[in-house]
Amino acid sequence: MSSSHLSRKVVSAPGKVLLAGGYLVLDRKHTGLVFGLDARIHVQVQPVPTSSGVALSEIIVRSPQFKDAVWEYGYRLADHDGGCEVTQLRVSATSPLNQNPFVETALSYALTYISTLRNGTLEPVSITIFADNDYYSQPTPLDGATRTTRFVDFGVPLQEAHKTGLGSSAALVTAFTAALLVHYLSESAFSLSSYKGKRLLHNLAQASHCAAQGKVGSGFDVASAVFGTCLYRRFSPSLLESHGEPGSSGFATTLQSLVEDSSSKWDTKIIKDRVNFPKGVRLIMCDVDCGSKTPGMVKKVLSWRKEKPEEANRVWSALQESNEALATELADLANTESKDYAPLTQCIQSIRSLIRDMSRLSGVPIEPASQTKLLDACSNVPGVIGGVVPGAGGFDAVALLIEDDAKVIARLGDVLDGWNIQGQEGGGDGMDMGRVNVLGVREELEGIRVEDPSVYPDM
Ligand SMILES: Nc1ncnc2c1ncn2[C@@H]1O[C@H](COP(=O)(O)OP(=O)(O)OP(=O)(O)O)[C@@H](O)[C@H]1O
Ligand SMILES: C[C@@](O)(CCOP(=O)(O)O)CC(=O)O
């Protein structure tokens, strides 16, 4: 190990799949069953050596798997308790500003919080982001085969990469925030191994993720990035609606109180003890490349619920019951070690049927006909227990539960090989289904994790 590894800190956070509870989880009355995935975003922080003894207040962030993915920021403490303001610096006077709102917001929020706990200036650091390959569409070898490169060079700018929908921004903001807290704060002020530390990270990452996306979602993706697989009940949205912004008077104190929850306002529920995953079963994702999400799906579903509350609430209550039954069945299978997967198939079928009701009644293609065909074809493969359109659904990836056996994956591969043509001819949604690839990801129970820095490439 070279000595530079000693001062480097690396933290990783998992991607997610909302197996059950899409849309419902937006309402505190309901829960979502979210699985963490073994595709992670890793963030490395290292001090910048200063030979002259003069430290400039500059932070450089790189995402070396993408073209031109370098962001430089100046930072300063604002007057009137305004927290830490960051300003993106141009790489050259003539080059356009290539912004990364998630990085920039996570940086100013984390530095603001850190500055409330530390006196004096924060020394500059260099930050590197590594994304596991499955966050972006490209064929990856499945279990058993050797992955050639741990972190593939995608060779394109970040905006041109095809995302697979594993929640890169939430995993990034969470790992990025955690890496900065671990770097700048002493173990006694902040530790990821305690529940208190995770709660603090959760609150801070939810605040900056919402600010960066410009809307308050349910936050299931940030919650699973911190706590891993869980049943999730969201926080009241009003919590994040009026905390001001970096630079505005009083922002630092408001953020500190929000993050440390000094008025006990956070009502998020992370339920881990009712969730388990049976040995012998595996979750996999099939990425529909060129799949696209219909814009405004959330808005349309919510306006249907507002217009027809009785109709919608009937479906949502039944779905909530089926979603909980799925979590219970998975936990029972894990506890009893039974290999009778018929009840699990049944749970998945009843969820799918209710999701199709929701699609029909709301007019939103949550499980469109082309995904119904894909899921039915996958479910007919021996060893496949069942599958759903996860999250918001639409034309994105599907999630399957299968018997954890390479033969099942091989059989699935055979079915999916010719899928492109079948989808285009018979999809019936006016959408072309692209190629369907089995991603190399699987479920993972663990959330945020401090990593051994020596296994990452030197940057
Ligand atoms: N590897 C990375 N390096 C730097 N920034 C990244 C990286 N991955 C994601 N980001 C940031 O997150 C943004 C993508 O966030 P977006 O919410 O659109 O996708 P997502 O979180 O993957 O979506 P979904 O919830 O559908 O999975 C990028 O534009 C960039 O700002
Ligand atoms: C529709 C929704 O409930 C889930 C969206 O999930 P995904 O981004 O499709 O994985 C929105 C949310 O929970 O914020």
Domain count, the chain: 2
Average pLDDT over every residue of 53-65? 87
Binned at pLDDT 50, 70 and 90, residue 96 comes out as confident
Binned at pLDDT 50, 70 and 90, residue 295 comes out as confident
Q: Mean pLDDT for the chain?
A: 91
Mode of pairing for the β-strands spanning 384-388 and 436-438: unpaired
Q: Tokens at residue 447, please?
A: 């959330």
What was the pLDDT predicted at 429?
52
298 lines ligand 2 (CB under 6 A): yes
pLDDT in tens, 215-253: 999 999 999 999 999 999 999 999 998 889 999 999 999
For residue 276, pLDDT beyond 60: yes
Q: Tokens at residue 195, please?
A: 């529940």
Binned at pLDDT 50, 70 and 90, residue 366 comes out as very high
Strands in 158-252 per DSSP E: 230-233
For residue 1, pLDDT beyond 80: no
- Ligand 2 centre to CA of 50 (Å) is 44
Q: Are residues 79 and 137 in the same domain?
A: yes
Q: Which of 48-52, 79-83, 206-210, 435-439 has the lowest mean pLDDT?
A: 48-52
For residue 293, pLDDT beyond 90: no
What was the pLDDT predicted at 176?
98
Binned at pLDDT 50, 70 and 90, residue 202 comes out as very high
0.80 exceeded by the pTM? yes
- Ligand 2 centre to CA of 400 (Å) is 18
For residue 355, pLDDT beyond 70: yes
Q: Tokens at residue 391, please?
A: 């999250």
Residue of 206, 220, 230 with the most ligand 2 atoms within 8 Å of its CB, for mutation: 220
Q: Are residues 147 and 287 in the same domain?
A: no
Q: Are residues 267 and 381 in the same domain?
A: no
For residue 188, pLDDT beyond 90: yes
**Closest ligand 2 atom, residue 234 Cα:** 13
Q: Are residues 298 and 414 in the same domain?
A: yes
pLDDT in tens, 133-179: 999 986 444 444 445 688 999 999 999 998 889 999 999 999 999 99
Are the C-beta atoms of 36 and 442 separated by less than 8 Å?
no
Average pLDDT over every residue of 439-455? 96
Binned at pLDDT 50, 70 and 90, residue 348 comes out as very high
What was the pLDDT predicted at 5?
52
Q: Are residues 122 and 35 in the same domain?
A: yes
CATH code of 334's domain: 3.30.70.890
List, in order, residues 6 or more apart from 8 with CB less than 8 Å away: 44, 45, 46, 453, 456
- Ligand 1 centre to CA of 173 (Å) is 9
Q: Which residue range is the domain that position 404 belongs to?
A: 281-444
Q: Are residues 263 and 143 in the same domain?
A: yes
**Which ligand is the nearest neighbour of the Cα of 215?**
2
Among the listed residues 162, 165, 64, the one whose alpha carbon sits nearest the alpha carbon of residue 389 = 165
What was the pLDDT predicted at 137?
81
User: Which residue type, as a one-letter code, is found at position 337?
Assistant: E
Percent of the chain whose pLDDT exceeds 90: 81
Average pLDDT over every residue of 88-99? 83
Q: Are residues 266 and 373 in the same domain?
A: no
For residue 91, pLDDT beyond 90: no
CA-CA distances (angstroms) from residue 344 to 36, 228, 327, 329? 20, 22, 10, 6
Percent of the chain whose pLDDT exceeds 70: 91
Q: Which of 93-102, 173-182, 303-312 has the lowest mean pLDDT?
A: 93-102
Q: Are residues 308 and 198 in the same domain?
A: no
The torsion of the CA quartet 377, 382, 388, 389, rounded to 10 degrees, works out to -40
Inter-helix orientation angle 220-227/195-213, to 10° = 150
What was the pLDDT predicted at 432?
53
CATH code of 256's domain: 3.30.230.10
237 lines ligand 2 (CB under 6 A): no
CA-CA distances (angstroms) from residue 96 to 89, 92, 99? 10, 8, 9
What was the pLDDT predicted at 288?
86
What was the pLDDT predicted at 425?
42
Ligand 2 atom 13, closest CA: 218
What was the pLDDT predicted at 426?
42
DSSP one-letter string for 156-185: S-GGGS-B-SS-HHHHHHHHHHHHHHHHHS
- Ligand 2 centre to CA of 182 (Å) is 29
What was the pLDDT predicted at 428?
47
**Closest ligand 2 atom, residue 219 Cα:** 14
Q: Are residues 249 and 290 in the same domain?
A: no
**Closest ligand 1 atom, residue 168 Cα:** 22
Count of C-beta atoms within a 10 Å radius of residue 258: 20
More confident residue, 429 or 327: 327
Q: Are residues 99 and 222 in the same domain?
A: yes
Q: Are residues 243 and 344 in the same domain?
A: no
Ligand 1 cavity residues, CB under 6 Å: 63, 100-103, 129, 131, 158, 163, 165-170, 172, 221
Residue of 19, 24, 25 with the most ligand 2 atoms within 8 Å of its CB, for mutation: 25
Residue of 17, 24, 26, 358 with the most ligand 2 atoms within 8 Å of its CB, for mutation: 26
Count of C-beta atoms within a 10 Å radius of residue 91: 15
pLDDT in tens, 379-434: 999 999 999 999 999 988 999 999 999 999 999 999 998 786 444 444 445 455 56
**Which ligand is the nearest neighbour of the Cα of 164?**
1
CA-CA distances (angstroms) from residue 359 to 158, 219, 236, 305? 32, 23, 26, 12
Average pLDDT over every residue of 337-342? 97
More confident residue, 436 or 447: 447
List, in order, residues 6 or more apart from 94 with CB less than 8 Å away: none
What was the pLDDT predicted at 292?
62
Average pLDDT over every residue of 179-195? 96
DSSP element (H, E) containing 425: helix 419-426
Residue of 99, 136, 172 with the most ligand 1 atoms within 8 Å of its CB, for mutation: 172
Q: Are residues 60 and 107 in the same domain?
A: yes
Does the structure's ipTM exceed the value 0.85? yes
220 lines ligand 2 (CB under 6 A): yes
